[in-house]
A and B are shown apart, each in its own frame.
Chain A
Amino acid sequence: MEPVKQIVSKTVVIPNDDIDTDQIIPARFLTTTTKEGLGRNLFADWRYEKDGRDRKDFALNRPENRGASVLVGGNNFGCGSSREHAPWALLDFGIRAVVSTEIADIFRSNSLKNGLVPVIVDATTHRWLLEHPGADVRIDVPSATIEVNGKAVAFPIDRFSRYCLVNGIDQLGYLLEQNAAISRYEQAHA
């Protein structure tokens, strides 16, 4: 995993509440055995017409949003299935952080393991972001803050996840180092 320290970007806003992982990447695209290329089908059912053309009015298709890497969703983002294909698709498309008032547990955990930053903000900050699509924001992972409208707002992230993000550390390495403790546990519980 690449280290993630600062993200400076315009926002792209998809204001719907409860955006679930079936919307982020519909199940029919899960018959893949790799992580690559999922970005093409990110939000497929909202992004494309039935004949495959872009839906002009969908946020990700609008020219002014091109290149935006911070996605602001409505309340409660990422509920539903445990598919890690959801953060993979977002990252493959170029999204590097997701902002909401609440982020579902499994999606959040999957995001952190792939370098997608889950940013939970208070209702007032969230409302401002929803009302100002394309706003410039700056996410600083070491200090766990997002700068919105000239103000730095703290977001919750546990120290370990933050450490892993900032240093690009893969958590498997840390677990493998626990080998002796795991063996002791197995012996005691055999």
Chain B
Amino acid sequence: MAQSLFEKIWASHVVTPETDDTPAVLYIDLHLLHEVTTPQAFDLLRAKGLPVRRTDRCLATLDHSTPTVPVTTLKDLEVVSEPSAAKQVRQMEKNCKDFGIELRGFGSRDRGIVHVMGPELGATQPGATIVCGDSHTSTHGAFGALAFGIGTTEVGHVLATQCLLQRKPKTLAINVEGALPADVTAKDLILAIIGKIGVGGGTGHVIEYRGSAIRALSMEQRMTICNMSIEAGARAGMVAPDDTTYQYMAGRPLAPQGAKWDAAVAKWRQLPSDAGARFDKEVTLDASKLKPMVTFGTNPGMVIPIDGVVPQDDDPAFRKALAYMRVEAGKPLLGTPVDVVFIGSCTNGRLSDIRAAAKILRGRRVADRVRLLVVPGSAAVKREAEAEGLDEVVRAAGGEWREPGCSMCIGMNGDTVPSGKLSVSTSNRNFEGRQGAGARTVLASPVTAAAAAVKGAIADPREFAG
């Protein structure tokens, strides 16, 4: 029978099949770990006297609660961080040491946001099952992996058994045909998708993004798309691997090398969904009609084209969201004054994102009223960007160039948007208070964010074309 990409990966990882009474036992190939969602899981192992079953399948780093001002030692950290954040980092170091897991911590050339680091190192591979105590684990699906976020109890399960108990999810095919217009990015595409299917539209499903528009995307763009699957309620989103995938991966330190590489690619070529594979649900979009997108409300489904107006809706929750954002139904967002611009995160903190923003910033100045923060997604992104002089472009424009980390995406590391201030952010969540208590967040692409920084107001990046 014709199988989808998801079904092939699922079938090859079942240790014990599901029955009416019990979920499947699913084997996990790669477990990503960070400081925020693991301490209680390691405690569980200690309490039960259990070891980590496969330390070789763990990849650990520090990203969420770490500051983005220069910190190279734990001692520095205590100076700049909240005591609880420093304690969490110390605990992560201790847990990794006690259980024999290599930690890519401070001072590591590899350290970065876990979803930026995994692909960079070649740890993220097609056909694999990948989990992390983090909902944006869906990012890794860009490589044709089944990757999803789990809770801390499940982190404990994977540490102890390398397995998870799972019910087989449903599948949702999102077909995107046509070519994206200039200055319309992968971020705009995924925001448009979420706007179309809603923040609960993917609940219970694994999404496969398909069609000519998806095939044409680079790996970094595919990661941006898969990253925000969770914003549509889907735990996982995936793209079939192809030559773009293999070109990106070849030669990366944790990818197979030599003869093993050839064998792996031959195997990966069997992964794409068979012709005639069936999906539980299908949605189709025309990429050529899209425009740059911005959110106006307090969830990522509340999104409009940059030149659109805020819609009308009498639902009390909708009205509450508009009140929180201080925007008005029937009015455009274009021209709304902006206080903070954040370029970074696991959605848009990769080299191509920073390049795209720098193209607009080059030779221009950030408006006086705006604080611009550019935070590379990993130490590697930072090095590569600096090698191209992008840090200088950001600084010359009046922006801040920071150390890698989650930064203002989550506001638990010292980088926050002050209460009431409006932020244009390349991150993935515009929930109330996500970037700091009372902060108002507009999600956008790196070019739309850079345009806003220069104008001091929400602006159409297409004005800066050429």
Contact = CB atoms under 8 A, between A and B. Distances in A.
A22 B134 contact: no
A31 B18 CA distance: 36
B157 A31 contact: no
Interface residues of A, number: 52
Interface string A106-133: 1001100110000000000000000000
A26 interface: yes
Contacts of A110: 151-154
Contacts of B36: 30-31, 83
A16 interface: yes
Interface in A154-184: 158-160, 163, 171-172, 174-176, 178-179, 181-182
Contact of A33 (B88, B156, B164, B412): B88
B316 interface: yes
A169 B257 CA distance: 44
Interface residue tally of chain B, by bracket? 35 or more
B65 A30 contact: yes
B203 interface: yes
Given A81-B135, A105-B203, A16 B161 contact: no
Nearest to B86: A31
A18 B411 contact: no
B417 to A, nearest CB: 12
B256 interface: no
Contacts of B350: none
Given A31-B82, A105-B235, A178 B163 contact: yes
Interface stretch (B3-11, B37-45, B276-284, B454-462): B37-45
Contacts of A35: 40
A109 B317 contact: no
A82 interface: yes
Q: What's the dominant secondary structure at chain B's contact region?
A: loop
A27 B154 contact: no
Contacts of A28: 411-412, 437
A75 interface: yes
Nearest to B169: A105
B413 to A, nearest CB: 9
Contact of B157 (A18, A45, A171): A171
Contacts of B15: 178, 181-182, 185
B133 A182 contact: no
B124 interface: no
Interface stretch (B19-27, B182-190, B341-349, B376-384): B19-27
Given A23-B432, A182-B27, A45 B317 contact: no
Interface in B219-244: 230, 233, 235
A22 B429 contact: yes
B448 to A, nearest CB: 23
Nearest to A173: B48
Nearest to A102: B200
A79 interface: yes
Given A31-B65, A34-B40, A182 B157 contact: no
A18 B233 CA distance: 11
Nearest to A16: B317
Nearest to B431: A22
B42 to A, nearest CB: 9
A176 to B, nearest CB: 6
Nearest to B162: A182
Contacts of B299: 18, 20, 79
B31 interface: no
A25 to B, nearest CB: 11
Given A30-B36, A33-B39, A84-B37, A159 B20 contact: yes
Interface string A70-111: 000011100111111001000000000000001011100110
A70 to B, nearest CB: 21
A27 B161 contact: no
B433 interface: yes
Given A30-B412, A105-B204, A22 B40 contact: no
Contacts of B397: none
Interface string B138-151: 00000000000111
A118 to B, nearest CB: 12
Given A16-B320, A84-B37, A182-B163, A159 B437 contact: no
A189 interface: yes
Which 9 pairs show the lowest CB-CB distances between chains A and B? A110-B151, A33-B39, A84-B151, A82-B149, A31-B84, A84-B152, A82-B135, A76-B200, A113-B153
7 contacts: A17-B315, A22-B432, A31-B36, A31-B88, A84-B152, A113-B151, A158-B167
Given A26-B433, A31-B65, A171-B153, 5 more contacts: A79-B200, A83-B151, A87-B151, A160-B22, A182-B161
Interface of B: 15-16, 20-23, 25, 27, 36-37, 39-40, 43-44, 48, 50, 53, 64-65, 82, 84-85, 87-88, 91, 133-135, 137, 149-154, 156-157, 160-165, 167, 169, 199-200, 203-204, 230, 233, 235, 299, 315-317, 320, 410-412, 419, 429, 431-434, 437-438
